[in-house]
Chains A and B, each alone.
Chain A
């Protein structure tokens, strides 16, 4: 696998959407390629940053209370 093929699959890799032979091939390439590994780590870190940034905060208490009434 060439770097281009690996980079093209990075979205799927960080989203855990690769499996089987394709996953093995990407992992094999990453084992031997520092450039792609750094890129992979960066993209993965960015995905994590997006998640963590958006996960802060809770639904307002009054909304939760209204929903309890609705769902009763």
Chain B
């Protein structure tokens, strides 16, 4: 069952929602902006994002009984949406992670090596536009994208991200580390291309 990964762990045993539908709906809707932004990052398409969010809410409503009042509803909703995304939009379960490796890549090291005068690493982040960051995130593989989304954007703790993704905390940490390296590589390439930092002629 697609909704299971998260729902079964922390929200069992099933309980009924004490304050009924109104309280559930009222809280659920407060997470709409976050879910929609997450859906946009996952699907990379506004129409698909709307469909995904709407289906996630419909499913949440249907599985309302498995949500335990007082626990992390935002995490529960993200788990539902994320599972739907893999079921429907990716047509299957998440693959085992086998993505080409950028190796150890540190944007900080490249920045520091790139320019010798006044700490470029302090100012370079100010010169990267939000749109470029979004683009770099959307270029990540879905498995990397979703962990960045959960931890960096939504601020979920590792243990919540682990439950949402249905993997051990150690997997969250290693995946996140890899994801950040891919992201930093993209941002570095962009920074070189746009002249924010001089190219080193070894953009690995």
A-side interface residues toward B, CB under 8 Å? Answer: 11-12, 15, 17, 38-39, 41-43, 45-47, 49-60, 63-64, 66-68, 70-72
Residues of A within 8 A of B121 (CB): 38, 42
B158: nearest chain-A partner, CB-CB = A17
CB of A12 to closest CB in B, whole Å = 7
Task: Considering the complex, give the chain B residue whose CB is closest to the CB of A52.
Answer: B130
For A51, give its contact among B40, B61, B155, B184 (CB under 8 Å).
Answer: B155
A49 touching B149, Cβ below 8 Å: no
Q: Interface size for chain B: under 10, 10 to 19, 20 to 34, or 35 or more residues?
A: 35 or more
Nearest-Cβ distance from residue A6 to partner chain B, whole angstroms: 13
Please, how many angstroms separate the alpha-carbon atoms of A28 and B149 in the complex?
A: 31
Contact with A along B34-55 (1 / 0, CB 8 A): 0111001100001000100110
In the complex, the answer to whether B158 meets A15 with C-beta atoms within 8 Å is: yes
Which B positions have Cβ atoms within 8 angstroms of A? 21, 25, 28-29, 32-33, 35-37, 40-41, 46, 50, 53-54, 57-58, 61, 107-108, 111, 119, 121-122, 125, 128, 130-131, 133-134, 137, 148-149, 151-153, 155, 157-158, 173, 176-177, 180, 183-184, 187
Residue pair B29, A68 in contact (C-beta under 8 Å): yes
Residue in contact with B108 in the complex, picked from A43, A58, A59, A64, CB distance below 8 Å: A43
| A49, B125: Cβ atoms closer than 8 Å | yes
Residues in chain A near residue B176, CB distance under 8 A: 11, 15
